[in-house]
A = this chain, B = another copy of it.
């Protein structure tokens, strides 16, 4: 029987949204159902993200549990929160009953602790309930927090025939089988098999004689970024998760890793700009302020520090007013150099491409700072001398100070991330305002100290 739907690529147009809203308004359930069921649940979620909460709730209550549970997963986080608040604990339990355990656990974890207990209480399938409860116990920022309990596992003592008989039930719940995992009597992971291997083997053979002993796995407390790295490295589409004793606990599939990668990229990008929480452009002003103000305050204290230093050298500037003209230039350049250096190092640390030799790196950064500093200093020399009519000594001072500050900024930008990384702190925290603030203070200090040395005040 063919699928009658035409092959039209989904497009979220205003007309479509209005059409849906109209059908909701006139309560044409039959037509609404017919229209929406043509779409992939990710597309239905896109539509619901655009309509009012009431309209979304109408649709959620209209469509069947299996569809709405998947739609719930795809909704914008903030909208999902609102929808969940408008569903009873029993209704939520019905929704998650239709989901894979990892998605079910994710949704439940978004609720308050009290609601979590209520929802779990209402889950009908005892096995499903137990599995979800187990998953909720894991830290969400680990392999355990990512994995699902759905997988196909066979015991090495089984025969191929017995195997095929028993896995039909397991395979029904598993959307994409990928590999079949082989465990021993203590449920410890010992190897893997593909469906093809199983079908090709003689029915009387023992699993123990045909499975592949070499299988990639991750520990349940592994960092999600590490899991992503391993799966990308070995081109895996699924990876089993085990505990410290190699007992098979669950499985992570590639689609979850894609989400991890995209969220990680967003998070690092925001950290680099000094935004400390996961915010979106459409969040409330209060949420955005909470996320942005901390770093602004840190940057501000850097500015206060710079102000104190300038204050301390104020007589120098009465004598050599040209010095002050170039303060913004020195600050800006030091900041840019520092951010560039740290961005490269942070990426290198994330991709494991940083050579261990610290001394070599120190030399390289100094040389790089010198080369770039010289290039910039030469331009500044000309402009300050011919443009601003500074004296020869003043111009040289500004340039030498500039080069020194640049070299120093390159070193700071390189070694703060490495230092943080060696102490287990996320090096991505180092970039952005943290680096620019350090550079502001050290930059101004160096600038004036060099000037003092050369011009003698």
Give the chain B neighbours of A337 by CB distance below 8 A: 292, 296
Q: How far is the CB of A163 from chain B (nearest CB, A)?
A: 15
Q: Write out, one digit per residue, whether chain A residues 188-203 have a CB within 8 A of any chain B CB (1) or not (0).
A: 0011000000000000
Stretch at the interface among A61-69, A90-98, A110-118, A211-219: A211-219
Q: Contact at A336–B265, with CB atoms within 8 Å?
A: no
Q: How far is the CB of A216 from chain B (nearest CB, A)?
A: 7
Q: Contact at A191–B344, with CB atoms within 8 Å?
A: no
A330 to B, closest residue via Cβ:
B303
Q: Contact at B265–A268, with CB atoms within 8 Å?
A: yes
* A310 within 8 A of partner (CB): yes
* A285 within 8 A of partner (CB): yes
Question: B213, B302, B321, B367: which contacts A2 (Cβ < 8 A)?
Answer: B213
* A42 within 8 A of partner (CB): yes
Q: Contact at B273–A254, with CB atoms within 8 Å?
A: no
A209–B4 Cα gap in the complex (Å)?
10
* A347 within 8 A of partner (CB): yes
Name the residue among A217, A269, A272 with the largest chain B CB count within 10 angstroms.
Answer: A269
Interface hits, A243-288 → B, CB 8 Å: 254-255, 257-259, 261-262, 264-266, 268-270, 272-275, 279-282, 285, 288
Secondary structure type dominating chain A contacts: helix
Q: Contact at B328–A331, with CB atoms within 8 Å?
A: yes
Asked if A299 meets B336 with Cβ closer than 8 Å, knowing A76-B353, A368-B289, A440-B328, the reply is yes
How many residues of A are in contact with the other chain, CB < 8 A? 121
Residues on A lying within 8 angstroms of B by beta carbon are 1-7, 9, 40, 42, 74, 76, 176, 190-191, 208-217, 228, 231-235, 237, 254-255, 257-259, 261-262, 264-266, 268-270, 272-275, 279-282, 285, 288-289, 292-293, 295-297, 299-300, 302-304, 306-308, 310-311, 314, 317, 321, 324-333, 335-337, 339-340, 342-348, 351, 353-355, 361, 364, 367-368, 371-372, 375-376, 379-380, 383-384, 387-388, 431-433, 436-437, 440, 444
Q: Lowest 7 A-B CB distances belong to which pairs?
A: A303-B329, A273-B343, A265-B265, A281-B348, A306-B328, A307-B325, A3-B212
